[in-house]
Structure 1
Amino acid sequence: MTEEKMELGGVGTSLVASDTKKAPVKPLNTFERLVQPCLAEMVGTMFFVFIGCVSVIENVETAGRLQPALVHGLAVAVLVACMAEISGSHFNPPFTMAIYLCGGMKRYMVVPYLISQLIGGVIGASMSKVMTSKDNYAKAHGAAFTILQSDEQLLGALFGEMAMTCLVTTVVLLGAVNAKSSSPMVPFMVGCTVIINVLAGGDVSGTCLNPARALGPAILANYWTYHWVYWVGPITGGLVAAALVRLLLGDRKTRLVMK
């Protein structure tokens, strides 16, 4: 790895692995090391939430779950590929927590990343409200997750959010943090996993998998019914994924036991 990538590794693990040799570069300055990664997390989350919300609000009935699934997955792939070398392209609080727990970033950047992602989610949701029609926005509750309407749905939705977030977080950790399984295909892999999850679980929980994606629309639409599910499920799933990699699936450097 180059000196530049090693320096970035102290901020947030890149989701794009590369073996390309580059000429030595100057160490990152304070702005590039501390401020720019947080700005990238905010901007990346902002555009992800913006595009995702618009796809739900303006969803064509004949497209069903396919339209939001493709939009969310392709948006993730593009944004990860573009900003991986700046911040690591987390754009999701459970990703940040899991990457930190697996040794992929410094502790002092965790809280700034989380705050940047949540702010980006609110800005993105605001942008979607400006762009979409009032009737469609009201009908879709600003793309807040409204599929949960009774306690009978609760267990399945909560488990779904946890399991599906665990899946996509495991892909991130094995593809970007774990040296033995790292791959330059990570943007594609993560995007495809998001598409698969939305298609599989959209009718059960809405497939949020990201508290930043849930918070912005909830604030703008003032819709909080079962909102906690979209925090507890994804965060738990991210922690389970981190445990799997740290204890069982990681290489000797990442794994804590049975080295």
Structure 2
Amino acid sequence: MADKKMEMGEVGASLMPSESTPAPARPPNKFEKLFQPCLAEVVGTTFFVFIGCVSVIENVESAGRLQPALVHGLAVAVMVACMAEISGSHFNPPFTLAIYLCGGMEMNMVAPYIASQLVGGVLGAAMAKMMTSRENFAKAHGAAFALLQPGSEIGGAVFGEVAMTCLVTMVVLLGAVNTKTRSPLVPFMVGCTVVINILAGGDVSGTCLNPARAFGPAIVSNYWGYHWVYWVGPTTGGLIAAALVRNSTVTLQKLYSNSTVTLQ
């Protein structure tokens, strides 16, 4: 009987609110659920594209790919760390699609996020144009991707965008979305992946990996040469990454459940 009273007392104590128990969190309002994350995506993408474009426009020949690689990688790492708790720090349409497909966000936020990223890309490119000289801006084709010309290996460039976007998207999904592999180091991981991708493939495709990063400069400079490469490649790479992560997660869950049954 004493044991029964003790059990009932414990249950009653857990159900009764105490003064030390914090009040339940207020549910987020419409601004916090919709407008605040979209604003964070606009701001984050704006400054990422702005810093990235300036690094390309003002890049000196002696620096080669190192300067743009470090600038893009460090910029994305900083913005991801700052905005992660507000919007998830996507700043890239393929990231948003892949995160949705892996269950990391609701469907009704996909279109607003992508629209916000494209707006941010345009604003960032416009800021870069305002900051740099006309001569340097003209040489860099408005920081658009002039690397691909009629005689270029378009197939290799598309494949490069697919493969490299797949890699960085997998880092995002495994580092920030998947509960079994989530890591607080994800800003550093994504930034490093961007750096190594640009160092490896910068001379092949320009290493865009982000349609918003290509769309903004294309609008501002009215340069559309092979622009489709920077939509088809990154989008395909993001979808492949989502499929790989989803399938690997399901496989691991099945292996874990089978091993659990066997141990029992």
So what's the TM-score if we normalise by structure 2?
0.86
Q: CA RMSD in A?
A: 2.0
**Counterpart residue identity of residue 177, structure 1:** V
Q: Which residue of 2 aligns with 1:103?
A: 103
Once the two structures are superposed, residues 165-211 of structure 1 have per-residue CA deviations (whole angstroms, 9 ceiling, x without a partner) of 00000000000110000000000000000000000000000000000
Matches within 5 A, 1:178-257: 178-249=178-249
1:253 is displaced (CA, Å) by: 7.1
1:117 matched to 2:117: yes
1:58 aligned partner = 58
Identical counterparts, % of pairs: 75
Identify unmatched segments of 5+ residues in structure 2: 1-21, 260-264
Give the letter aligned to residue 97 of structure 2.
M
The question of whether the paired residues in 2 share the 8 Å contact of 1:176 and 1:182 is answered with yes
Alignment-mate amino acid for residue 212 of structure 2: A
For residue 25 of structure 1, report the CA deviation from its aligned partner: 3.2
Aligned AA (2:69): A
The residue aligned with 1:161 is: 161
Q: Secondary structure at 2:33's aligned position in 1?
A: helix
Which string of whole-angstrom CA distances, capped at 9 and with x for unpartnered residues, describes residues 135-155 of structure 1? 000000111011111254101
**Secondary structure of 1:85 counterpart:** coil
Equivalents in 1 of 2:77, 2:97: separation in Å?
20
Q: Over residues 31-64 of structure 1, what are the superposed CA-to-partner deviations in whole Å (9 max), with x where a residue is unaligned?
A: 1111100000011000000000000000011110
User: CA separation of 1:254/1:138 partners in 2, compared to 1, >3 Å: closer, same or farther?
Assistant: farther
Q: Which runs of 4+ in 1 moved over 4 A?
A: 249-255
Structure 1 counterpart of 2:12? none
In 2, Cα distance between the equivalents of 1:253 and 1:179? 12
What TM-score do the two structures reach when normalised by structure 1?
0.87
Name the residue aligned to 2:77: 77
CA distance in 1, matches of 2:173, 2:32: 24
Classify 1:127/1:32 alpha carbon distance in 2 versus 1 (closer, same or farther; 3 Å).
same
Q: Would you say the 8 A contact 1:178–1:251 is kept in 2?
A: no
Aligned residues: 236
Distance (whole Å) between structure 2 residues aligned to residue 254 and residue 153 of structure 1: 42
